[in-house]
Amino acid sequence: MANNSEQIEIWNGDIGQRWTEEQALLDAMLAPLGLAGLERADITPGTRVLDIGCGCGDTSLAIAEQVGADGHITGIDISEPMLARAQARAEGRKNLTFQKADATTHRFAPASADLIFSRFGVMFFDDPVAAFSNMRGALTPEGRLCNVVWRPVRENPWVLKSLMVAAEHVQMPQPAGPEDPGPFSFGEPERVERILGAAGFDNIALEPLDAKITVGAGLGLSDAVTFLLGIGPLRLILAEQDDATQNRVRDAVTEAVKSDFDTDGLQMDAAIWIVTAQSK
């Protein structure tokens, strides 16, 4: 069984630290998409929820409010720095627990959860069928799943614009293969349906949502572009370039996105699936 060792190293290294430091800006960007998933999940008081890939705890905190004192939310993540931030934000809450665990291999208590929720936390498994099969074991017989995932990168200008601009200045790496883990690996419905079906779920549905997201909320244009380049796939690509090349890319991206900028930040188009399913 795959153990996601590469992802564990990534999210406990520079990227995990960066996402922890940028928690407020990332939550401002992603919260509307997570809330759309939570509305679709229809969480009621008393529900027991697993929040997979909970990161710095934004969705876990929101779910804790919804499940109330009779429910419980367990946030699962592999990133120590992000979990430390989540723990600090949740201090004093009795219905919320955070745990460092790999959802592919962690021994969940059987029938201990009513819902598996995730906001952009399930696209990185080396063996997604094994991961979802393992998580399904935590669900009650009537248990269900609600995950928010990105649609393909071609439908997400908030990433695509800067990638297209950068490709004019630097040699881009080969794109990830259709079965490789990564932020857009759940973009194609057929793959999602195949994975979840093989993992023991049925009544699988993917509902599309198009939305505007605020990238770099409250920042000026230059700082918003710095934030954009620091959280997306260009981060590692640009790190390998000399200063002059980095500056050329930064200037070109700034020019490309300046029409998206207002006083609140970059207002950019995003596209997600809200994936729902039930345990067989």
pLDDT digits (tens, 9 = 90+) for 137-180: 999 999 999 999 999 999 999 999 999 999 999 999 888 888 99
- Confidence tier at 280 by pLDDT (50, 70, 90): confident
Structure tokens at 182: 């990564």
Task: Classify domain 5-152+178-212+271-279 at the CATH topology level.
Answer: Rossmann fold (3.40.50)
φ, ψ (nearest 5 deg) of residue 234: -75, -15
Mean pLDDT for the chain?
Answer: 95
Average pLDDT over every residue of 83-102: 96
pLDDT at 131 over 60: yes
pLDDT digits (tens, 9 = 90+) for 209-245: 999 999 999 999 999 999 999 998 898 899 899 999 9
**Residues 145, 115 contacting (CB under 8 angstroms):** yes
- Confidence tier at 113 by pLDDT (50, 70, 90): very high
Rounded distance between C-alpha atoms, residue 230 and residue 228, angstroms: 5
Average pLDDT over every residue of 42-51: 98
Structure tokens at 131: 């991961």
Q: How many CA atoms lie within 13 A of 202 on its CB side?
A: 3
pLDDT at 1 over 60: no
